[in-house]
Amino acid sequence: MKLDVAPQFYRPNVGLMLIGPRSTPGGRRVFVGQRLNQPDAWQMPQGGVDKGETPVEAACRELGEEVGTTKALLLRESRAWVTYDVPEAVQPSHWQGRWKGQAQKWFALAFTGTDSDIDLAAHDQEFGAWRWAATNELLGLIVDWKRPAYEAVLKEFSDLIS
């Protein structure tokens, strides 16, 4: 059996495409959060895979930590790891040069709750605000160095969000 491991020199990470209950003319709506430490940067929830944790376990944990709810149904896991390099100027100091970026397993989830179930302060708050974004506006909200990863995720989950 082949182990599903992140590529070398990339921090193992998960990304969550939380798909909202309603569509817009621009496509399905997905959850995006505005980063506390980068107010001009919006992103879908993401986070590291802890030692001894599987990617799907990390995805469930991150959903509760970053969105403040676990009211979601798992639809699909990405087939492969999606990588992106993080510019040195914004790399977290605790990385200490171990990684050049992140490798993410992405999970598409259908949100089964209501907006009032979302609680950004339920854990160590990472987002200052959140909103539902139409998929056709998503790439315009994301920092430029993450866009190729988001393009890959949008393509892989296109049948779920069109």
Residue 75 domain flag: yes
| Strand (E) or helix (H) holding 141 | helix 138-141
Residues in contact with 76: Cβ distance below 8 Å, sequence separation at least 6, in sequence order: 107, 108, 157, 160
- Identify the pLDDT of residue 90: 87
User: CB–CB of 95/11 below 8 Å?
Assistant: yes
Q: What is the pLDDT of residue 70?
A: 95
Q: By C-alpha distance, which of 130, 156, 16, 38 is closest to 86? A: 38
Q: According to the model, what pLDDT value does residue 155 have?
A: 97
Per-residue model confidence (pLDDT) at position 2: 45
Q: Which residue has the tokens 């193992």?
A: 12
In a domain, 5, yes or no: no
CATH number at residue 146: 3.90.79.10
Residue 75 to residue 73: CA distance in whole angstroms: 6
Q: Which domain holds residue 44?
A: 10-161
Q: Is the pLDDT of residue 130 over 70?
A: yes
What DSSP state is assigned to residue 66? Answer: I
Q: How many domains does the chain have?
A: 1
> 64 lies in a domain?
yes
User: Is 20 part of any domain?
Assistant: yes
Mean pLDDT confidence for 24-47: 89
In a domain, 30, yes or no: yes
Q: Is the pTM of this model over 0.85?
A: yes
Mean pLDDT over residues 92-113, rounded? 94
